[in-house]
Structure 1
Amino acid sequence: MTSLLWLRQDLRLHDHPALTAAAHAGAVIPVYVLDDEAPGAWRMGGAQRWWLHHSLTPLSKSLKEKGSKLILRRGNAAEVLADLATETGAETIHAIRHYEPWWRKLEDALGDRLCLHDGNHLAPPEQVTTGSGGQYRIYSSFWKALQQQLPPDDPLPMPRSIPAPDTWPKSDRLADWNLLPTSPDWSGGFDWTPGEAAALAKVKSLDINDYDTARNMPSQEGSSRLSPHLHFGEVSPRTVWQATGRGDTTFRKELAWRDFTSGVIRALPRYGEENGRPAFDKLPWRTGAEARRDLKAWQQGRTGYPIVDAGMRQLWTTGWMHNRVRMITASFLIKHLLIDWREGERWFWDTLVDADYGNNAVNWQWVAGTGVDANMFGRIMAPLSQSAKFDAGDYIRQWVPELAGLADDVIHDPEGAGCRPRDYPAPLIGHREARERALAAGRKVR
């Protein structure tokens, strides 16, 4: 019997339940479908497309080493897979379950021929539910419930070989998909090595002994930098869990947060577009020419707030941003500039190599205070004091070279210290003024 293996955000051979099941049943035809139709507005962003190209290349090589082959097709995934099943005589389509709303619609469209497997979570969201069977909307309650189902099962081994069909269907050429930037090529600063081998090597070298502290220090390499590998499924969460042993609980809770956000978008599929708290539909976001100017300055890292500008320039250059700085830059856009969180979410979607629908939406709404589990809108991060508190001087020097010559005691706030260089912009707005404006807007929601 021949089966199709539908690959999406699970670009690996190790700990792949759908692959294991398909290989046990008979011949396997691995397929990746580039579907720019079904996601609609959530079509994969530019940075993700760069990663996808460089992830599919080693995956194709790994499959070849196992006696198999990666088939590439483009179009509506449900239609492409249905046609391919008819063409090859495949009776079953094996796949790992996904929770983004467009993937769920495609899964429904494939009907009974699709056999779904769990494999991208510590525990399937369907299993971690409230007493009434609903998804948890408060992370602390979710974490408490999830722990009752931990540790996860041991990862499945990589198959020694993959049964091949007698004949292979035609495949697109990856180069013809034009996933990589052309003119201008903005990916020159991307210092990543996508693919399963790189992901497993990173897991093997993990050091999380000081993670709880180091992850908050922008000038240190305290993050695992596993997020894009996890997003594209080049390594499974339970593989990472097993590798951490009895390590830092904070790190493991970050893995659990990914599971939590999948549960949120399972319950609220439009969470990336709609406020989790409808009362915030009344919040008077700034619009118009001045707001658009400020949004562009934020995107380009020209706000006059060094920690914010360093983060936004790191994002554009590398396709990634330090976790603590993500919160600071998001809070600045929402609270200081009073610009709709969805503008920032969309920018991150296009520029982050690890842009994930659930994570991105839940994190932005957490900062905005508009979500089901979120900070109060009135909690406004102070970027200048946050920069000093987390010792971001060297981080700023790396990404904002105009300030590289400033001393530690003034680099966080050169305007306030009276030593702002001429080639560095003045702050778009003062912190106190921004705070008062945000609080006034928040009062209108109440």
Structure 2
Amino acid sequence: MNVSIVLFTADLRLHDHPPLRAALDGSREVVPLFVRDRSVDGAGFAAPNRLAFLADCLADLDAGLRERGGRLVVRSGDVVEEVCRVAVEADADEVHLAADVSRFARSREARLRRALEARGRRLLVHDTVTTVVPPGELTPAASDHFAVFTPYFRHWSRWKPRGTFGAPRAVRVPDRIASEPLPSRDRLSGLSPALPAGGEREGRGRLTAWLRSGVQDYADRHDDLSGDATSRLSPHLHFGTLSPVELVHRARRAGGPGAEAFVRQLAWRDFHRQVLAARPDAAGSDYRTRHDRWRSGRSARDDIEAWRAGRTGYPVVDAAMRQLAHEGWMHNRGRLLTASFLTKTLYVDWRVGARHFLELLVDGDLANNQLNWQWTAGTGTDTRPNRVLNPVTQGKRYDPDGAYVRRWVPELRGLAGAAVHEPWKLRGLDRAAVDYPDPVVELSEGLDRFRRARGRD
């Protein structure tokens, strides 16, 4: 065999890349291929922020390949048709692909396998490219997946991850294989103003800096909204510019409570993937139904719009929503607060919030996004499905001096300390001077409504 194809999807890197390594071990030449799947656009997943980050990743991947004598081949259209076309052009016998868990990805894999086999070619699918532990590898005695994180994490922690390896020294690509021009973020509109840059170089640099000066304090500060003490590596994990296996190894070498807490977050990521692999319907349906009759109609629409715009009257919620709009990213504590507020205080369907997040989040990952929304809404894997996060209490706890709120809600910069979390308590001229809305709902009213809806009154 002389030529293999590596089909890149959510694994846009050269370091620790099992499909690329396997292809190079078995072939004299390799076609590194990325197909811009038009069905992704049609399904509404082609959000501008992620398209911009993707463009950065593809440019960086192409640059890394060119440094090694190769290049990235980009095509557009149906993935199966384009891969088969390139296989004929290159006379390639094998296609290497990273395993994925969504229904869309697994359907694509099945279609591609059938099409290649019909043409006398093979599809080789590789695990532990985008996860540390393959979905379905760890299971309880009476089920095909873990439905609760804690027992899953116990098993996950005992798993020995595979070893890692560096980027290849050389990649030879057949000259005859044509490529479309690389996409560019410069051609996109509607981007968040402070959208981060993508690409493996950017991701590896951020990881090194994080392990050197951030991870030590992560256990104590990961919920600190104003301190911004999280890694911000989630976009790079989503696009696969960083290997989760490498992250686990490097964090464990760093050691300490912060590294342990960080590794636990990587386990949550695998946990959600094994849930979605076993229950693909959970991407759009309740994992555990509570028989909710979510609010609809004019009043709900007005509340949803206030939530999206960051004008609910609850400062920490509004701050987080404005951070999302500006950066295409949101602090994890902010994600919990905004999701709890929409689903439980406003009693709005979690799918409304999940859809809005996917429109803006550069790390808009289907498994993490949908299942975290369900966890917060109480229709997912949370063992306390009726918990409600109080935005005032949470704001005072995780933004005690109000710095996070004042950064993102400039209307409230004149309020000192924790008073910024309750601007409705201002009186007279002081209140009139602040151009900020009153709360869309009293917290007690929202709590009562939610409890009645869940039969908890």
Please indicate the TM-score interval, normalised by the length of the shorter structure: over 0.9
Out of 251, 255, 275, the position equivalent to 2:262 is 251
The reply to whether residue 75 of structure 1 matches residue 84 of structure 2 is no
Look up the equivalent residue of 1:203 and give its one-letter code: L
Residues in 2 aligned to 1:384 and 1:252: alpha-carbon distance in whole angstroms: 30
1:323 partner amino acid = N
| Contact in 2 for aligned 1:34/1:73 (Cα 8 Å) | yes
Residue equivalent to 1:328: 337
Alignment of 1:158-307 (within 5 A): 158-165=167-174, 167-175=175-183, 180-182=187-189, 185-190=190-195, 192-206=196-210, 207-244=214-251, 245=253, 246-247=255-256, 248=258, 249-278=260-289, 280=290, 282-307=291-316
1:154 offset after TM fit, Å?
Answer: 2.3
Summarize the Cα distance change of 1:65–1:42 in structure 2 as closer, same or farther, 3 Å threshold: same
Q: Secondary structure at the match of 1:128?
A: coil
Q: How far did 1:121 drift?
A: 1.4
- Assess if the C-alpha contact under 8 Å between 1:122 and 1:238 holds in 2: yes
Amino acid at match of 2:268: W
Helix, strand or coil at the partner of 2:32: strand
Which residue of the other structure, out of 360, 363, 366, is the alignment partner of 1:351? 360
TM-score by length of 1: 0.94
Deviation at 1:40, TM superposition (A): 5.6
1:368–1:375 Cα contact (<8 Å) kept = no
Partner of 1:434: 446
**Aligned length, in residue pairs:** 436
1:140 to 150, 156, 163: 150
Please tell me whether the aligned partners of residues 38 and 102 of structure 1 are also in contact (alpha carbons under 8 angstroms).
Answer: no
RMSD: 1.8
Distance in 2 (CA, whole Å) between partners of 1:351 and 1:179 is 18
Q: How does 1:11-160 map to 2 (within 5 A)?
A: 11-26=12-27, 27-37=29-39, 41=43, 43-111=45-113, 112=117, 113-118=122-127, 119-132=129-142, 134-150=144-160, 152-160=161-169
Q: Tell me, what secondary structure is at the counterpart of 1:126?
A: coil
2:136–2:277 contact (8 Å) kept in structure 1: no
Letter in 2 for 1:91: D
| Structure 1 residue 292, shift from structure 2 partner | 1.2
Structure 1 residues 36-69: Cα deviation after superposition (integer angstroms, max 9, x where no partner):
3168635232221121111111111111111111
Over 4 Å off, 4+ runs: 177-180
Question: What amino acid maps onto 2:8 in structure 1?
Answer: L
Structure 1 runs not aligned, ≥5 long? none
1:423: which partner in 2? 435
Structure 2 CA distance for partners of 1:178 and 1:58, relative to 1, 3 Å = closer
Maintained 8 Å contact 1:219/1:391: yes
Q: CA deviation at 1:82?
A: 1.5
Report the counterpart of residue 382 of structure 2 in structure 1.
Answer: 374
Q: AA paired with 1:389?
A: R
Residues in 2 aligned to 1:271 and 1:16: alpha-carbon distance in whole angstroms: 29
Equivalent residue number for residue 388 of structure 1: 396
| 8 Å Cα contact 1:305/1:427 also seen in 2 | yes
Judged with a 3 Å threshold, the aligned counterparts in structure 2 of structure 1 residues 117 and 350 are, in CA distance, closer, same or farther, namely same
Structure 1 Cα separation of the partners of residues 294 and 220 of structure 2: 35
State TM-score, norm by structure 2: 0.91
Distance 1:34 1:408 in 2: 49
The CA deviation at 1:75 is: 1.5
Partner-residue secondary structure (3-state), 2:5: strand
What is the distance in 1 between the residues matched to 2:271 and 2:187? 32
Separation of aligned partners in 2, 1:9 and 1:180: 22
Superposed CA deviations along residues 395-444 of structure 1, whole A, max 9, x for unmatched, are 11110000011011310111134454441111100111111111111118
Deviation string, structure 1 residues 246-270 (Cα, Å, up to 9, x no partner):
2332111101111111101101112
1:367–1:375 CA contact under 8 A, matched in 2: no
